[in-house]
Amino acid sequence: MNLKNALCLFAVASFLSNSVVAETLKVGVPTALTGDAAAFGQDIKNALTLANEELGHGKYELIFEDERCTNKDAASIAHKLIDIDKVKYALGFPCNGTLLATAPLYEKAGVLVITSSATSGDVVDIGKQIFRLFPSDTGCSRALQAFAGARNKKIAIITEQNEYPVMMERSFIAFNKASASPLEVKTFEFMHGSSDLRTIATKIRAQGFDAVFLNANTDASFINMVKQLGDQKLHADMYSAYLPGSKTVLDTLGSKVDNYMFCNLPVSDQLVTSRGKEMMQKFRVRFGEPQSGFPVVPMALESLRLLDVAVQSGENPAEFLRTATVQDGLIPPYSFDHGAIQGIRFEMQVVKNGKVEPLP
């Protein structure tokens, strides 16, 4: 064989080898690029794009799909990623409801899932290959109930009818019932897109509640609630989960959310390790400030780093994650129990003069 033929064969072999690698390293990314959840869905997309370049060295083919946090779109995307794109890995997942709706599809197909934002709420186990980097929202409702329970007597919960807020209401009530000094609780419901909360506000004011929990699903819903309830001049402590810290919310509402108290994970720069801070700085240089009210950017960055570690471990990636204690990530040390992250704690925060501060 002459040198020219040998080089040709080497080039063909390299092309075929690279094609196989590219096929095995496809990663599906269902996220929300439009709709009410687009702020944190776009944060997830940007973070994964950066992580693939900086941490994955570009070897992952990220297939972004807009699920809009609707179950119908999420199911259609899951079938596409599984049946057409033949992915073995999936990252992203902005919303609890769509994760729960599609988990059986990914689990049956043997797709390894690592979420950046979605949790399984109060559902303990949704699959042996599904790992949630964001702690269960039940930890958020527990922190909120404990704080309000020590401060208030009667709380009104205004819940948007969607899977995530309904779960938050359910878990808050469960923790309240188990408390040594439970709050008096009354719940009110509204449908997504409802534009008139005056009747609810009138009832809350008439019944003398000293606390209100605005239990919304997205920034857009929360903004609408704050505007309407503010017009009704309720004199009560105002509580929520996650959303008051959103840049979108703060930019839109300004001083209207001052003194709002809410459960959340530590803000991004306090949550990350020194290596994580470097990645957050690169994110800001490239994309500006994160839009989310909760730290989906660090979780999304870590999700791709973790996937890369698991893929390169030489073990079955899902089995590796089930037994690993992660010490060298972009966030503090953690492990998984039934796919749920362990080791990351919630805290209470407040908005003061347009900025988020931790509460003691």
Domain ranges of the chain: 3-135+269-342, 139-264
The yes/no answer on whether domain 3-135+269-342 falls in CATH 3.90.550.10 is: no
Q: Which residue has the tokens 């996650």?
A: 242
Name the DSSP class of 230. Answer: H
User: Which pLDDT tens digit goes with each residue over 33-80?
Assistant: 998 888 889 999 999 999 999 999 999 999 999 999 999 999 999 999
Report d(CA 248, CA 215) in Å as an integer.
17
Token couple for 79: 């079938």
pLDDT of residue 31: 96
pLDDT of residue 5: 47
What number of other Cβ atoms are within 10 A of residue 207's Cβ?
Answer: 11
**Closest by CA position to 140, among listed 263, 267, 244, 260:** 263
Beta-bridge partner residues of 158: 188, 214
pLDDT of residue 298: 96
- Which pTM value belongs to this model? 0.84
CA–CA distance from 303 to each of 44, 61, 69, 289, 298 (Å)?
A: 10, 15, 19, 19, 8
CA–CA distance from 156 to each of 173, 177, 185, 234, 260 (Å)?
A: 11, 15, 6, 11, 15
Token couple for 261: 């108290």
| Pairing outcome for strands 340-342 and 334-337 | antiparallel
Report d(CA 263, CA 359) in Å as an integer.
10
- Stated as kind and residue range, the H or E segment containing 202 is helix 198-206
User: Which pLDDT tens digit goes with each residue over 186-206?
Assistant: 999 998 766 678 899 899 989
- Residues (pLDDT < 70) of the chain are 1-24, 193-195
The yes/no answer on whether domain 139-264 falls in CATH 3.40.50.720 is: no
Name the DSSP class of 317. Answer: H
Contact at 8 Å (CB) between 317 and 304?
no
pLDDT of residue 195: 66
Token couple for 313: 């471990």
What spatial distance separates the first Cα and last Cα of the chain, rounded to whole Å? 76
Report d(CA 176, CA 167) in Å as an integer.
14
Report d(CA 255, CA 252) in Å as an integer.
9
Token couple for 295: 């730290």
